[in-house]
């Protein structure tokens, strides 16, 4: 079996943590039980580029139970949990190509290792695998049945490929399922971002000015959780509707320059480039903390910060101090990469349960639809989205009502008014 991981001796620890996460992933377990019996993915080679976490491990095990051969590489150089990578290789017989802290060259070498299997299905978190395949291995791309994409940034890239007419096979935008983004992006990012900041810094949030850039589902989650910890939350947003929502949700909304002067902690989650830049660093307070929870490490202009600094040093794991000429210190967390995955463990299992049940069911759906889908980006079929919600409630032991016949009838009628 081919693999490239940091340390196989970590495998037992990884296995124990994977099984711990499994306790919170009951929807995926339900899917896995059916997959074990029906083997719907028999013979499918799956190339997956995802964060190598305990939750992803449970997804890989589920795909294998369905008869597939999954191969995994990392979707971020800093998010790999080396014990999980080791456990997947040693205890679950799954090929993994990922080492925490790998450089860019190794990151792409690992992506190519996974693509070398000539996959039937690709799974992405951020679209690095599919874009590499389209750029470098076009012939292979033409043989892929379908792909899935986990995150907002990846879906945006794929839509651009579709619009430019270069997408060579259908992809299902798992991110767009309600049972994904309304929960994973909001509650998952909300909790895990705060977790990453606290693990890295151990600072008190109560009473701090906490600036969130971007009020999408991730931004909403982070803002709400920071408020819950007693921080004064300031939102920076460019979209008028979202900005208005933030105002009416009770947050202070202002421009990035005003926020830069006031903030103690800054988190970016916009999906765009250089959201925090030189002008902002110039007016920040001494000891401002900056971090990113958007997919790529482009949101904070790290080059500008390096150029401005007279000295830089690591003061704690995942905390780098940049000393500016006037004596102010700015602290950058996790090299500006996803702070929730680099400084903590990513979203908790209970929320990844829904995201990854969607992934597993979408892979099954796409594999069954071979040749019938167009070279487009598809939303998750509504039946899958609803089934994941139903199963989540069921596994949480929560019952809900159904409509009476009279209520059904009423909703269909137009004649009854006042």
Minimum CB–partner distance for residue 347 and ligand ADE (Å) = 4
Q: Which is nearer to ligand ADE, 50 or 246 (CB)?
A: 50
Stretch that binds ligand ADE, among 22-30, 133-141, 204-212, 345-353 (CB under 6 A): 345-353
Q: Which is nearer to ligand ADE, 110 or 347 (CB)?
A: 347
The HSE-up count of residue 338 (CA atoms within 13 Å, CB side) is 28
Minimum CB–partner distance for residue 55 and ligand ADE (Å) = 4
Q: Which is nearer to ligand ADE, 94 or 288 (CB)?
A: 94
Stretch that binds ligand ADE, among 167-175, 261-269, 346-354, 389-397 (CB under 6 A): 346-354
* Residue 411 CB contacts under 8 Å (≥ 6 apart), including other chains: 403
Instruction: Point out the residue whose Cβ comes nearest to ligand ADE.
Output: 346
Minimum CB–partner distance for residue 192 and ligand ADE (Å) = 6
Minimum CB–partner distance for residue 204 and ligand ADE (Å) = 25
CA gyration radius, the chain: 22
State the Cα–Cα distance between residues 157 and 140, nearest whole angstrom. Answer: 20
DSSP structure class, residue 380: P
State the Cα–Cα distance between residues 299 and 264, nearest whole angstrom. Answer: 18
Site string for ligand ADE, 35-74 (x = CB under 6 A): ---------------xx-x-xx------------------
Q: Which is nearer to ligand ADE, 189 or 256 (CB)?
A: 189
For residue 196, state whether it binds ligand ADE (rule: CB under 6 A). Answer: no
Phi, psi of 188 (to 5 degrees): -65, -55
State the Cα–Cα distance between residues 317 and 339, nearest whole angstrom. Answer: 12
Q: Which of 100, 199, 347, 392 binds ligand ADE (CB under 6 A)?
A: 347
State the Cα–Cα distance between residues 368 and 31, nearest whole angstrom. Answer: 16
Neighbours of 74 (CB within 10 A): 30
Q: Which is nearer to ligand ADE, 237 or 353 (CB)?
A: 353
Host H or E run for residue 172: strand 171-173
State the Cα–Cα distance between residues 193 and 263, nearest whole angstrom. Answer: 17
- Chain positions contacting ligand ADE, by CB under 6 A: 50-51, 53, 55-56, 188, 341, 346-347, 352
């Amino acid at each position: 079996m081919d693999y490239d991981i940091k340390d196989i001796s970590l495998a037992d620890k990884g296995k124990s943590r994977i099984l711990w996460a499994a306790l919170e992933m009951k929807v995926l377990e339900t899917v896995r039980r059916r997959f074990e019996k029906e083997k719907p993915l028999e013979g499918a080679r799956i190339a997956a580029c995802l964060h190598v976490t305990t939750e992803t491990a449970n997804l890989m095990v589920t795909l294998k139970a369905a008869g597939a051969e999954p191969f995994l590489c990392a979707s971020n150089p800093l998010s790999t949990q080396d014990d999980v990578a080791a456990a997947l290789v040693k205890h679950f017989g799954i090929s993994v190509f990922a080492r925490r802290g790998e450089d860019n060259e190794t990151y792409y070498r690992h992506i190519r290792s996974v693509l070398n299997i000539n996959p039937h299905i690709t799974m992405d978190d951020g679209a690095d695998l599919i874009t590499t395949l389209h750029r470098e291995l076009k012939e292979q791309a033409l043989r892929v049945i379908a792909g899935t994409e986990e995150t907002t940034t990846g879906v945006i890239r794929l839509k651009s490929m579709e619009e430019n007419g270069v997408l060579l096979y259908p992809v299902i935008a798992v991110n767009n399922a309600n049972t994904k983004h309304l929960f994973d992006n909001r509650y998952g990012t909300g909790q895990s971002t705060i977790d990453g900041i606290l693990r890295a810094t151990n600072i008190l949030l109560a009473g701090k000015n906490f600036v969130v850039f971007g009020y999408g589902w991730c931004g909403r989650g982070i803002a709400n959780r920071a408020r819950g910890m007693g921080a004064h939350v300031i939102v920076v947003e460019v979209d008028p509707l979202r900005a208005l929502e933030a105002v009416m949700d009770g947050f202070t909304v202002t421009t990035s320059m005003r926020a830069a002067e006031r903030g103690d902690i800054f988190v970016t989650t916009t999906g765009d480039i250089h959201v925090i830049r030189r002008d902002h660093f110039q007016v920040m307070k001494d000891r401002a903390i900056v971090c990113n929870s958007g997919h790529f490490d482009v949101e904070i202009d790290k080059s500008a910060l390096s150029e401005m600094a007279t000295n830089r040093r690591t003061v704690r794991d995942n905390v780098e101090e940049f000393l500016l000429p006037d004596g102010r210190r700015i602290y950058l967390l996790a090299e500006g990469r996803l702070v929730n995955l680099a400084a903590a463990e990513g979203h908790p299992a209970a929320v990844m349960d829904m995201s990854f049940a969607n992934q597993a069911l979408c892979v099954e759906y796409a594999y069954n639809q071979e040749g019938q889908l167009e070279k487009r980006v598809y939303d998750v079929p509504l039946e899958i989205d609803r089934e994941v919600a139903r199963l989540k409630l069921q596994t949480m032991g929560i019952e809900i009502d159904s409509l009476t016949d009279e209520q059904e009838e009423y909703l269909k009628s137009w004649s009854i008014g006042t």
